[in-house]
């Protein structure tokens, strides 16, 4: 039997290879279309929403994040503090962005740290049950666990392309299950026990 971590690694590599093979122009067009999902993400003005700056071949959430800002969201981006911890720093127009590691940028140390009520989460692969495979470092799993430990239950929306769906993500006790997924097909929830 292949160990779970190795199974996840193999699924991650295959899903990311499929994503990397998508034409750049198509990814840009689809990312613009994904901004329409803002209509289906309800929240009160001032609600903290975490997004992420695109790296490698990820969907570009900047148009969606701008649409959410126009609806009154306080946007934040992940900031890597050390090898195990991320926090979410407020993204304010005009503020300087600094290198965050992994080829992405975000707000600097002077930015307010927010507890997102809605989280747009990057991923490598997902299944029809809402289980996800991240990039292997566990940053989001630990950040969500910390929020849960403080009694907060953010709405978890994974962001991917349809080609990143796999038949079944192997489960580990620390894995966090998504509430919804946003792809080029739109925003949808998951079937219980699918």
Write down all domains in the chain, each with its CATH number in brackets.
4-38+51-189 (3.40.50.10420)
- Residue 139 counted as an annotated binding residue: yes
Contact (CB, 8 A) for 139 and 80: yes
- Write out the two tokens for 174: 């620390």
What is the predicted pLDDT for the residue at 52? 94
What is the predicted pLDDT for the residue at 67? 97
- Residue 71 counted as an annotated binding residue: no
- Residue 102 counted as an annotated binding residue: no
- Residue 58 counted as an annotated binding residue: yes
- Residue 135 counted as an annotated binding residue: yes
| pLDDT tens digits, one per residue of 155-192 | 999 999 999 999 999 988 878 899 999 999 999 998 65
Q: Does residue 101 have a pLDDT over 80?
A: no
Percent of the chain with pLDDT over 90: 78
Residue range 61-90: mean pLDDT, rounded: 94
- Residue 133 counted as an annotated binding residue: yes
Residue range 13-17: mean pLDDT, rounded: 97
- Residue 56 counted as an annotated binding residue: no
Residue range 69-98: mean pLDDT, rounded: 93
Q: Does residue 193 have a pLDDT over 50?
A: no
| pLDDT tens digits, one per residue of 26-74 | 999 999 999 999 999 999 999 999 999 998 999 999 999 999 999 999 9
Which CB contacts under 8 angstroms, 24+ apart, belong to 188-191?
Answer: 190/128, 190/129, 190/130, 191/128, 191/129
Distance in angstroms (rounded) separating the CA atoms of residues 80 and 87: 7
- Residue 86 counted as an annotated binding residue: no
What is the predicted pLDDT for the residue at 130? 96
Residue range 1-29: mean pLDDT, rounded: 94
**How many CA atoms lie less than 13 Å away from 68 in the CB half-sphere?**
29
Distance in angstroms (rounded) separating the CA atoms of residues 35 and 106: 20
Distance in angstroms (rounded) separating the CA atoms of residues 50 and 91: 9
- Residue 134 counted as an annotated binding residue: yes
194 confidence band (pLDDT: 50, 70, 90)? very low
Q: Is 130 exposed, middle or buried (0-12, 13-18, 19+ CB in 10 A)?
A: buried
Q: Identify which has the larger pLDDT, 2 or 45.
A: 45
- Residue 103 counted as an annotated binding residue: no
- Residue 132 counted as an annotated binding residue: yes
What is the predicted pLDDT for the residue at 17? 98
């Amino acid at each position: 039997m292949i160990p779970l971590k190795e199974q996840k690694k193999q699924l991650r590599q295959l899903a990311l290879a499929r994503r990397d093979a998508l034409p750049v122009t198509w990814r840009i067009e689809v990312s613009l279309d994904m901004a329409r999902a803002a209509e289906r993400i309800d929240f009160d003005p001032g609600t903290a929403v975490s997004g992420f700056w695109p790296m490698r071949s990820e969907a570009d959430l900047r148009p969606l994040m701008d649409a959410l800002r126009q609806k009154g969201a306080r946007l934040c981006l992940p900031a890597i503090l050390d090898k195990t911890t991320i926090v979410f720093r407020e993204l304010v127009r005009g503020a300087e962005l600094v290198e965050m590691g992994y080829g992405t940028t975000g707000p600097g140390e002077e930015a307010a740290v927010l507890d997102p009520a809605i989280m747009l989460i990057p991923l490598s692969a997902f299944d029809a049950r809402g289980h996800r495979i991240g990039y292997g470092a566990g940053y989001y799993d630990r950040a969500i666990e910390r929020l849960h430990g403080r009694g907060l239950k953010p709405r978890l929306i994974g962001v991917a392309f349809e080609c990143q769906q796999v038949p079944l993500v192997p489960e580990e006790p620390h894995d966090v299950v998504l509430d919804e997924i946003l792809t080029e097909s739109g925003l949808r929830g998951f079937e219980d026990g699918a």
